[in-house]
Amino acid sequence: MRSSFVVLTALVALAAYYIYIPLPSSVSEPWKLMLLDATFRGAQQVSNLIHYLGLSHHLLALNFIILCFGKKSAWSSAQVKVTDTDFDSVEVRVFEGPPKPEEPLKRSVVYIHGGGWALGSAKIKYYDELCTAMAEELNAVIVSIEYRLVPNVYFPAQIHDVERATKYFLQPEVLQKYSVDPGRVGISGDSAGGNLAAALSQQFSQDASLKNKLKVQALIYPVLQALDFNTPSYQQNVNIPIVPRYVMVKYWIDYFKGNHDFIQAMIVNNHTSLDVEEAAALRARLNWTSLLPTSITKNYKPVMQTTGNARIIREIPQLLDARSAPLIADQEVLQHLPKTYILTCEHDVLRDDGIMYAKRLESAGVKVTLDHFEDGFHGCMIFTSWPTNFSVGLRTRNSYIKWLDQNL
C-alpha cells in the first residue's frame, strides 16, 4: 500500500512538472493554458518519435493526431447549411447562413485556417464551429479553404491554392449560385491563414483583371514577417505557448523546405545582419523602434548583428519575398488595400507583426481597426468550446464577428 502511494505521488509530481510552465498572471486562465500546451507538446513528442523511427514525417504524424481527435464531418443545422465541395480543384467547406427576406443577396467571407502552413484543417471542429457561428450570426456564406500543407507542398503552393479557390468563388456565376452580393465579399484568416489572407489581399489589389474586389480583410494574430525574430513581442513571449519563438522559426524553415541547421542563427537575426545586402532595403519597413509605441517597446533593444550568415538568404531567398512576408510590401501596394481589421494578443510572439502592419497600413491611407487583447494568447480565438474553452476565446470571437457585421 505504501509503495503504491509513493509511486502515485511520484507520477503526480512528474505530471505536474511536465505540465507546469511559468506564465504571466495576466494571461487568460493560465492553468488551463498549461494543460492545453502540455497536450500539444505531448502530441509533438509522439510525432517526433514517429519521425525518428522512420515511420512518417513528423508534421504528417502530428496533423494525423490532430485530425483523429478533432475532425468533423459536414453537418448542417436548421440555421446553417454545410457542404464539402471543391473550387477549381481546391477543397473547400461552405457554410450558408440563414437568408434574410429583406436581403436577397448575402455577404460572404473567404476564411483561411491557421497552423503554420503545415497543420490544421477547415474540417476540424475548431474551424467548423467558428465558421458556423460566422455564417449564422452574419447571415453570410463562409468559404473555408482546405489548402495543401507542408510537407506535401511548400511555398508558394499554399498561396496558389487559396488564390485559385477565391478567384473561382468570385466568378459572377458562382456568387449568383450562392446568392452572394459581389460587393460584400471579405477575406480573413488566423495565424498562418492570416499571412495567406494578407498576401492574397495584396495580390488581388494589384490584379486589374478582377472585376469583383474584396471589401475588407480581417487578420487574426497574423504572421507577417521573418526578418526580425527579436521584436519586443518575440523577446517578451519567447517561451509562451502555444507558439514559442523556436517553434515559429521552425514553421518558417519548414514552409520554405529550408535547412533546420539555420534555426539558431535566425533566432538571433544572423540572416538579416548588416552585411546581408539583400535585406538592407527592407529593414526600414519593419523598424519597430519607430513603428511601435513606447508602451510596447518598453526597454527592449533591437538585435542587429554586424556580421551574420549570408548563406541563409542565398539558400532561402523566399524570406525576403513579400508574398511570404506581407509586412515588407511596398507602400504603393499597401495603399490600395481594403478596410482592415487586425486582432492581436499581448502574450503572442506575433503581436508586433500585427501592430506594425496596422501602422504601415494607416500610413498608406488604409482604414484600420487594431483590436488588442491584453489577456490573449496565440490561437485563443478558436478555443471556445469545452474542454478548451477560454473566456478570451469567446471575447475575441465576438469582437471579430461584431466588426465584420458592422463593416462587411
Tell me the longest C-alpha to C-alpha distance in the chain.
77
Only one residue has cell 492574397, namely 200
Give the three cell numbers for residue 76.
Answer: 448542417
Return d(Cα 211, Cα 208) in angstroms, integer.
8
Return d(Cα 273, Cα 283) in angstroms, integer.
10
- Give the residue from 124, 168, 122 showing the smallest Cα distance to 146: 122
> Is 271 one of the annotated active-site residues of the chain?
no
Q: In the beta sheet, which residues pair with residue 90?
A: 87
Q: Which phi and psi angles does 345 have, rounded to 5°?
A: -125, 140
Q: Which phi and psi angles does 30 have, rounded to 5°?
A: -55, -40
Q: Which phi and psi angles does 212 have, rounded to 5°?
A: -100, 115
Return d(Cα 319, Cα 255) in angstroms, integer.
10
CA distance between the termini of the chain = 65
Return d(Cα 373, Cα 171) in angstroms, integer.
37
Do residues 365 and 262 make contact, with C-beta atoms less than 8 angstroms apart?
no
Candidate list 128, 190, 348, 375, residue with the active-site label: 348
> Is 348 one of the annotated active-site residues of the chain?
yes
Q: Which phi and psi angles does 100 have, rounded to 5°?
A: -105, 130
Candidate list 191, 201, 233, 273, residue with the active-site label: 191
> DSSP assignment, residue 307?
S
Return d(Cα 370, Cα 215) in angstroms, integer.
17
> Is 378 one of the annotated active-site residues of the chain?
yes
Q: SS3 letters for 17-51?
A: HHHCCCCCCCCCCHHHHHHHHHHHHHHHHHHHHHH
Candidate list 58, 113, 271, 378, residue with the active-site label: 378
Where in the sequence numbering do the catalytic residues fall? 191, 348, 378
